[in-house]
Amino acid sequence: MRLVEREDFRMKENKMSRRSFLKAGAFASAAGMLAAAPAAANAAAPNAANAAEEENGLLGVFGGKPKYVFLFIGDGMGTAQIQSARFYKGTVENNGAVVEGELSFTQFPEVGSVTTYDSTSFCPDSASTATSIATGHKTESGVINMCPWTRDVPYETIAEKLHAQKNYKVGVVSSVNIDHATPAAFYAHQKTRKNYYAIGKELAVSGFEYFAGGEFQKVNGDGTGPNNHEIAAQNGYNVVTRQADAAALKAGAGKTLIIAEALADGKSMNYAMDAAAGEWQLTDYVRKGIELLDNKKGFFLMTESGKIDWACHANDAAASIHDVLEMSNAVQAAVDFYNAHPNDTLILVTADHETGGMAIGYKTTNYDTFLTNLTHQKMSYAKFDSTYVNHYVKNQTPFETAMQDVKANFGLTLPTDPDAANAGKLLLTDYEVENLRTAYERTLRVGSSSQSKMSQQDYELYGTYIPFSMAICHTINHKSGVDHTTYAHTGAMVNLYARGQGADKFRGVYDNTEIFHKLAELTDVQ
């Protein structure tokens, strides 16, 4: 028996024995309390409906099972991403004062710390970490729900188990592509996360009742077969691509796949800060999921805020903060549901890994932060690229002209600007101007596409992103007191916040594989 198999067997044995112990203890205690109850209580026995309510309440005290499970994954959302959003919210709402704001999930009663490494790296990717959360198994970076190295054994996910064994309805939501690594890890099994068309086909045969998010990345495959929309429709899904049609859906609509009408970079949903008025965001899809997953037996809804990760890859602190705040709003929709069903609901909020090596504090701001500077950023780096930079490259726009757009959308102001005296902390130094000019000249020279050939210096300065946009993000971040160490993932631990039935199981320090095992134990799936 291989080491991985032995370890999995050992963990299962331990889980079984602990589960049996908890059950026996709970029922023994409950029986003792009932036996000691006064005879007068028996004389006022409740009717059948009230008896059921009493039973549910008793189970809530003695290890009841959650019927409604919400799992929120902030992709790339480490503690710094959460704290920067809290600090930003607090200082903006209090006129620049040093006040910490609260998010919906930072007020949860239980908090755990979770390791994220996979079988090959301490700095894992989303495929392997989501596999750990969804199945309780470690695998290689880039692999979705398959055993490491040989990649010949698929792992069953918690969503699949709840669907098959407990008749829970299941929903999967993501602000990025619905076949991206994290959402895929709850319904697909692939040797590589790049098998996008095959992942889309697995979505269609999953039988899960609700999917919503960005477009399939390879919706047409190689062009020789039906596209992913057609395959989903053939398997009984309502495929909805207009927001008005999504809004019209009601409980009982049947299996549903919603693709966001407004698509942005990489065919994902817009960053929260870029969304138009009335445009559906993550919160709206969670609310619709709650409506469509209505089921007496229960439901499981996994929701990923995927663009926190994308923003942090690009070192765009403002975009990541606004997406964390939107995720907090989405969690609040689950909290509202919990308030109506407190004995039956469990809400978990965590991350698959941290991205960007985000730090609150920058070397030139000493011991201070100026997060209100980020209110001057009006759009994400991605929208700035598509709206402005492509035009600059095409027309070889002069640097000073481009900087007028930078001033309008980021607040960063040249010393030669007529309004320089009013720029405050967003007035650029000569050093910052030269950095921006160098990045701009490289952008005009190499174009706006991802850079395939660059020096080590260029990569450390700009990653694979458009140099001018990266220089802008770095500059406003630094002036705000925020920095990043990488364009990739890190090995930092992440937090898990829990509220509701069984939330106490998630306190402490543990590996991300334990999230699956704790959920399996709580819901009695094998």
Answer yes or no: do 390 and 467 share one domain.
yes
Range scoring the smallest mean pLDDT among 220-234, 304-318, 442-456:
442-456
Within-domain flag for 299: yes
Residue 237: is it exposed, middle or buried by C-beta count within 10 angstroms (0-12/13-18/19+)? buried
pLDDT bucket at 131, cuts 50 / 70 / 90: very high
pLDDT of 448 above 70 = no
- Residue 195's alpha-carbon distances to 75, 150, 187, in angstroms, are 20, 17, 14
Range of lowest pLDDT (8-17, 275-284, 306-315): 8-17
**Average pLDDT value for residue range 290-299:** 97
Q: What is the mean pLDDT of residues 483-492?
A: 97
The pLDDT, as a whole number, for residue 28 is 36
Answer yes or no: do 130 and 97 share one domain: yes
pLDDT of residue 449: 61
C-alpha to C-alpha distance for 93 and 302, rounded to whole angstroms: 30
> Are 240 and 213 spatial neighbours (Cβ–Cβ below 8 Å)?
no
pLDDT of 57 > 80? The answer is no
Asked whether residue 17 carries a pLDDT value surpassing 60, the answer given is no
Residue 127: inside a domain: yes
For helices 430-446 and 467-480, give the axis angle rounded to 10 degrees: 160
Give yes or no: residues 35 and 104 share one domain.
Answer: no
What is the band of 455 on the pLDDT scale with cuts at 50, 70, 90? Answer: confident
Q: What mean pLDDT is predicted for residues 223-236?
A: 97
Instruction: Identify the pLDDT of residue 446.
Output: 84
- Of all residues in the chain, the percent with pLDDT exceeding 70 is 87
126 and 259 part of one domain: yes
**Shared domain check, 446 and 414:** yes
Mean pLDDT, residues 118-147 taken together: 97
Q: Is residue 94 part of a domain?
A: yes
DSSP 8-state secondary structure symbol assigned to residue 178: T
Identify whether residues 76 and 198 lie together within a single domain: yes
Say which residue, 81 or 24, is predicted with more confidence. Answer: 81
Instruction: Give the distance, in angstroms, between the CA of residue 435 and the centroid of all CA atoms in the same chain.
Output: 33
- Shared-domain flag, residues 177 and 307: yes
Q: Are residues 96 and 20 in the same domain?
A: no
With beta carbons less than 8 A apart as the criterion, state whether 213 and 175 touch: yes
Indicate the pTM of the whole model.
0.88
Q: Do 153 and 129 sit in the same domain of this protein?
A: yes
- Residue 374 domain-assigned (yes or no): yes
pLDDT of residue 66: 97
Please tell me the predicted confidence (pLDDT) of residue 262: 96
Tell me if 497 is assigned to some domain.
Answer: no
Greater confidence (495 vs 39) lies with 495
321 and 440 inside one domain:
no
User: What is the rounded average pLDDT of the residues 361-365?
Assistant: 94
The mean pLDDT of the chain is: 89
Lowest mean pLDDT among 47-51, 160-164, 297-301, 356-360: 47-51
Task: Let me know if residue 489 belongs to a domain.
Answer: no
Confidence of residue 450 (pLDDT cuts 50, 70, 90): low
Condensed to tens digits (0 to 9), the pLDDT of residues 324-352 reads: 999 999 999 999 999 999 999 999 999 99
Model confidence pLDDT, tens digit, residues 377-404: 999 999 999 999 999 999 999 999 999 9
Residue 34 has pLDDT above 70, yes or no: no
Domain count, the chain: 3
Residue 90 has pLDDT above 70, yes or no: yes
Is residue 286 in some structural domain?
A: yes
β-partners of residue 113 are 495, 509
Structural domain harbouring 50: 3-39+46-61
Domain identity same for 76 and 133? yes
Are residues 389 and 246 both part of a single domain? no
Looking at residue 122, which CATH number applies to its domain?
Answer: 3.40.720.10
Domain assignment present for residue 491? The answer is no
* Structure tokens belonging to residue 13: 């044995």
Q: Which of 14, 30, 61 lies at the terminal end of a domain, its last residue?
A: 61
